[in-house]
Each structure stands twice: as structure tokens, then as C-alpha cells.
Copies of this chain bind each other. A is one copy, B any other.
Amino acid sequence: MKVTIKRIAEILKVNPSTVSRALRGKPGVSEELRNKILRTAEELGYYPDTRARSLKEGSTRTIGILIPDMGNPFFANAVAAMERVLFPMGYSFFLCVTEEDNEKERINLQKLLSYNVDGILAAPVDRIKNIKLYKQIQSKGIPLVFFDRRIVDLKVPYAVTDNRDGVYKLMDYLKKMGHESLGIITLHRESYTGMERLNAAIERAKELGMEVRENWIKDGKSTQRGAYEAAKELFKERKLPTALFVCNNVMTLGVMKALKELSISVPDSISLVTFDDSFWNQIFDPPVTCVAQDPMQLGMIAATMLLNSIKYPDQQEQDGVILKTHFIERYSVKNLLITTNGEG
């Protein structure tokens, strides 16, 4: 038998409204009765039913967080940061994991709509499939902030990394080190991030006169396993590029594993640069040169933007925040200019 306000009211032979007022500390109930009510509530182990309360009051004080992958420390840390911002404000969290699957994303978004969350933080799967659902969320006036990825067609506030700029830094560096050919292990291509990084890499590389063959571009599917297989595929090619660009952190693990199995040494046989800097990049042998983005910062900013959207629902200005990456030079890229000189 559940302990409710009604139940307490019955026991104490008072009206439920009085119990409610007593528990919420509202005026209109004598000190004596209030104490008696508080005591029995404590004794019986009463907890207010948020469903009923929020039904009456409107707000649920919950936030939906939608990410593609729990196992990726990038997202795990972003979520951690969001929690740190939002928890002190009294919010709880619905965690939704899409696994890059449109169908799972759809179901989760519909659930969030049904749960009447106060806001949504989402890293959407792709730019097409569930756009209608996101539009619906928007048109219902539910505060929504994209992070890491966005849907460009939608006028929704976002916090993302400047992928293009980050990739340019890497490409320019490779060129500077004398590399003239490039392979790429891509994210799954439907995603915003996937597109951005791939296109930027190809464009910049070509601008710099580097060769990027079609069959040097392999789909890593955003996962460790996918990247592992992609790398294995790549190294079956007769002619190989001198440098390899891996589009995110977890895929780097897969590529590394493949390299180890094939006994291909970095940077002697091939040079390596990556997007993202997880701890393992520093402790690889050799440490991997990369552009870093800070998932905690991203999460914090996204959460703060959401809070703002919740507070000022009509504000349309805050279009988006674009974070710059931080270039970190380590030892995974060979300087071909020096080497060839030495050999010549």
C-alpha cells in the first residue's frame, strides 16, 4: 500500500489539502498540526509523487540527454559535465543512447516528448531521418540544444567544435612535415561531424596539393571495431599514403590495434594524426599528434545554454557556440623533409 498525502490525511483525520500545505511549508496550518503531519510523514516514509505534482504544476524538472555512444569517453565526459551543471539546479536526467541508430533515436525522442522533459540536450544521429521529430520538439517550445553535432537546417542553439578549423590544423601540419599523400578513417558519413571532418580533410589536402585516393578513404563507422576493420582494409592496398588521419578518439584505438597486429610502425612506416585527444593518445607509443577538443567544456556550455533557453523561452538570439580545437604536437608524424635530406 503506497503512502500518499491522502493516506496521511486519513490517519490524522484532516483534509489532504492541509497535509499538502504542511509538507510544502505553506501558510495556513498551525504549528502543532504541521509538526504532527511532518512526523507521521517521516514515520510512514512518505515521498511526494512527482508525476502527480508535475501534472499539476507543469514542469517535471527533468532533462533528456541523448548521445550516440556511452562507451565513448568523449560523450561520457560531456554527460558528466552536464550533470555537474544541471544537478545543482534540481534537474534529473533521462539518459538516451542511440548507438547511431535512427530508429533508436526516434523512439527515445518520442519518449522524451511523452515524459514532458523540461529540455533536451542532443547529439543527433544524422541530419535527415528524424528532422521532423526535432522540428516538432522545437515547435512545441521544448528547449533544445545540440552539442557536438547539429542539424544545420534547423534553427536550434548548438555547441559544437570547429571541425573544419581543427582538420585544417592537422592538414597544414602534415604538409609542413613534407607529406604529400593522405589516407582517412572516417566516421559514419551521415553524421554532422562525419561530414564536416571528411569534407574539410579532402578539401584542405587537395588545396595543399596532397593526394587523396578514393580507396585510401575507409569507413570506420565511428567505432573502435569499425576502424580496426577499416584500417585492415586500407593496408591491403598496394600503394599507401604516407600519412593517415583518424577522425575520432575511439577509432584511433582500433587503428592502433590493427597497426600492431600488422607490425606497421608509427611514424616510420606511416604517420598518424587524429581528431580528439583522449588519455590514451598521450600514452601510446609513440604519443599521437592530434587536435583536442574538451568534452567537459562542451558539455558545460551546452548545459548552460539549455538553462538559458529554459529561463528565457522566447530568446531567439543565442544561435550557437563554436569551440576551437587545440593542436597538440607529439611524435606520431615523421618529418619527411629531414629524413629525405638525410638519405639523399
Contact = CB atoms under 8 A, between A and B. Distances in A.
A74 to B, nearest CB: 11
Nearest to A81: B70
A60 B51 contact: yes
A21 interface: no
A283 B97 CA distance: 28
A264 interface: no
Contact of A283 (B51, B52, B65, B284): B284
Contact of A71 (B49, B73, B136, B140): B73
Contacts of A283: 256, 280, 283-285
| A contact patch SS | helix
Contacts of A140: 45
Interface stretch (A33-41, A112-120, A229-237, A329-337): A112-120
A240 to B, nearest CB: 23
Copies in the complex: 2
Interface in A43-80: 45, 47-52, 54-55, 60, 65, 69-71, 73, 76-77, 79-80
A92 B115 contact: yes
A136 B45 CA distance: 7
Contacts of A113: 47
Nearest to A104: B87
Interface of A: 45, 47-52, 54-55, 60, 65, 69-71, 73, 76-77, 79-80, 83, 87, 92-97, 104, 110-111, 113-116, 136, 139-140, 253, 256, 279-280, 283-285
Given A48-B114, A87-B97, A92-B94, 8 more contacts: A45-B140, A51-B60, A55-B55, A71-B73, A73-B76, A93-B94, A93-B95, A94-B95
